[in-house]
């Protein structure tokens, strides 16, 4: 996607170019064939450039492979003379003891969550305050070093440079939530093709994220095995007739499915919709069971949050909100991209939340740092590697 920021109080994006190509050389966010992936990226770029009418040289990309995660760390300094100086804040912000604490992982980002002084008092700016200690809660994002290096290499083979990498929940929160939701607390669950990303927002910051190794492709695989059809037919069936919610009429509604017969040929066969739902529903339930298990183990306070946003391609599945509600016991909604101007309907779908989030996130970062003006609009290419 090639986007251009629009000058107003709330950054919005005008879509200039869009291109897509079947994903190749990639499995669960990790590269299996460098050349195939590079070729697929190149073809998507060419389509977007053709629509936009100009070429691009740099990209912003998200990363899901290698199970990236976000966690909050706590550091504390004793203050000499009980007076906090700039040097104390600088030393605390630049502590690097966490950068290599996780094997094969590197610290992608470190962001201040809050400063604290004596008696656990939170302060916005500690410089000049009297206190015996200064503490910092920081939000740290870690990614697998090899996944980043390999993705970067695949993109460079397309003669493109990477401006920045972001993890999926970090950008989905921008594209699907309003600021009040991110402030008050919300969980975002992105059910992608082969991975499901989890993120928790509070006070407008991503305070927790993780990934579970299951996604929509597993539903498709179940349909292939359960019905005896091809992957392409199963995917089409999931999109057109798939549901996670059953009703009394499903036994009587027949769905035409092309199955592989005993001669190895594709032949029409009619299955009751209830049978298709019976294949899909258990896998959807498993996805949410694994998400809840992850949160229970790593962030048990999630149960105090009263809103969950589902996004990603699989969130289009009929009835999935009802299944999610039975697990989370709170308000559930489907997250679609916001902040788009004159975008085609195709892009205004949960399937493209991550892609749109890359454009919005990069635009906001440049806006904050004052790197663009009315005469120098952001023009970059963004792509989503799920």
Instruction: Write the pLDDT tens digit of every residue in 78-89.
Output: 998 899 999 999
Tokens of 178: 């309003």
**CATH code, domain with 101:** 3.30.1490.110
Last residue of a domain, one of 244, 260, 279: 279
- Domain of 231, CATH number, reads 3.90.640.10
pLDDT in tens, 166-182: 999 999 999 999 999 99
pTM of the model: 0.89
Kindly state the percentage of the chain with pLDDT values over 70: 91
Q: Of 258, 279, 300, which residue sits at a domain end?
A: 279
Q: Is residue 9's pLDDT more than 70?
A: no
Closest CA to 219 of 329, 315, 326, 352: 315
Phi, psi of 278 (to 5 degrees): -65, -25
Residue 263 maps to a domain: yes
Phi and psi torsions of 175, nearest 5°: -85, -20
Element (H, E) at 340: strand 340-341
d(CA 232, CA 298): 37
User: Mapping DSSP to helix (H, G, I), strand (E, B) and coil, where does residue 85 land?
Assistant: coil
Residue 11: per-residue pLDDT: 64
DSSP category for residue 117: E
Contact 106, 142 (CB under 8 A): yes
Span 269-302, pLDDT tens digits:
999 999 999 999 999 999 999 999 999 999 999 9
Cα separations in angstroms, 158 against 171, 379, 384: 24, 18, 15
Residue 375, pLDDT above cutoff 50: no
For residue 346, how many other CB atoms are within 10 A of its CB? 10
Beta strands in 11-68 (DSSP E): 12-17, 26-27, 30-31, 58-63
pLDDT tens profile 10-20: 668 888 999 99
Among residues 19, 236, 208, the alpha carbon closest in space to that of 227 is found at 236
Over residues 14-39, mean pLDDT: 93
The tokens describing 118, both together, are 């004596």
- Does 106 map to a domain? yes
The whole domain housing 73 covers: 69-144
Joined together, the tokens standing for residue 97 give 């003891």
pLDDT confidence of residue 377: 43
Q: Is residue 357 in a domain? A: no
pLDDT digit string, tens, across residues 315-371 = 999 999 999 999 999 999 999 998 787 777 888 899 999 999 998 888 777 666 554
Residue 4 neighbours by CB under 8 Å, 6+ apart? 13, 14, 16, 377, 378, 379
Banded model confidence at residue 95, pLDDT cuts 50, 70, 90: confident
CA distance 311 to 324: 12
Residue 270 lies in a domain: yes
For residue 111, pLDDT beyond 80: yes
Residue 123 is assigned to a structural domain of this protein: yes
User: If pLDDT is split at 50, 70 and 90, which confidence band does 69 have?
Assistant: very high
Inside any domain, residue 122: yes
Check: CB of residue 5 under 8 Å from CB of residue 16: no
Q: How far apart are CA 112 and CA 127, in angstroms?
A: 15
Does residue 264 or residue 24 have the better pLDDT?
24
SS3 category, 104: coil
Q: Is residue 345 part of a domain?
A: no
Check: CB of residue 338 under 8 Å from CB of residue 13. no
Mean pLDDT for the chain overall: 89
Q: Answer with the one of 144, 170, 202 that is the final residue of a domain.
A: 144
Region of residue 113 (phi > 0: left; psi between -120 and 50: alpha; otherwise: beta): alpha
DSSP class of residue 19? -
Q: What's the confidence (pLDDT) of residue 92?
A: 87
Length of the chain counted residue by residue: 386
Number of domains in the chain: 2
Give the span between the Cα atoms of 199 and 296, in whole angstroms: 14
Residue 206 is assigned to a structural domain of this protein: no
């Amino acid at each position: 996607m090639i986007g251009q920021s629009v000058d107003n109080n709330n950054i919005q994006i005008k879509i200039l170019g869009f291109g897509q190509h079947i994903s190749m050389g990639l499995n669960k966010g990790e590269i299996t064939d460098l050349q195939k992936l590079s070729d697929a990226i190149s073809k998507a770029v060419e389509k977007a450039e053709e629509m936009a009418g100009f070429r691009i040289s740099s990209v912003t990309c998200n990363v899901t492979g290698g199970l990236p995660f976000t966690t909050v760390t706590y550091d504390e300094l004793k203050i000499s003379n009980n007076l906090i100086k700039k040097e104390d804040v600088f030393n605390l912000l630049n502590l690097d003891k966490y950068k290599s604490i996780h094997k094969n992982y590197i610290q992608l980002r470190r962001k201040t969550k809050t400063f604290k002084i004596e008696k656990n008092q939170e302060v916005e700016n500690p410089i000049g305050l009297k206190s015996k200690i200064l503490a910092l809660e920081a939000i740290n994002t870690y990614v697998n070093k090899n996944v980043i290096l390999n993705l970067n290499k695949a993109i460079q083979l397309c003669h493109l440079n990477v401006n920045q990498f972001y993890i999926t929940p970090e950008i989905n929160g921008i594209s699907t939530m309003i600021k009040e939701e991110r402030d008050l607390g919300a969980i975002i669950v992105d059910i992608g093709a082969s991975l499901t990303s989890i993120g928790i927002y509070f006070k407008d910051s991503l305070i927790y994220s993780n990934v579970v190794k299951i996604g929509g492709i597993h539903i498709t695989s179940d349909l292939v095995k359960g019905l005896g059809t091809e992957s392409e037919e199963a995917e089409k069936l999931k999109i057109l007739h798939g549901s996670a919610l059953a009703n009394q009429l499903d036994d009587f509604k027949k769905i035409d499915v092309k199955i592989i017969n005993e001669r190895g040929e594709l032949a029409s066969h009619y299955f009751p919709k209830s049978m298709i739902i019976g294949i899909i529903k258990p896998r959807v339930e498993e996805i949410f069971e694994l998400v809840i298990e992850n949160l229970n183990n790593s962030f048990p306070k999630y149960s105090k949050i009263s809103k969950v946003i589902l996004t990603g391609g699989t969130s289009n599945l009929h009835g999935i909100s009802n299944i999610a509600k039975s697990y989370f016991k709170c308000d559930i909604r489907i997250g679609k991209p916001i902040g788009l101007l004159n975008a085609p309907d195709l892009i205004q779908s949960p399937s493209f939340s991550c892609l749109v989030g890359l454009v919005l996130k990069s635009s906001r970062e440049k806006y904050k740092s004052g790197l663009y003006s009315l005469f120098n609009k952001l023009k970059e290419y963004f792509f989503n590697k799920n």
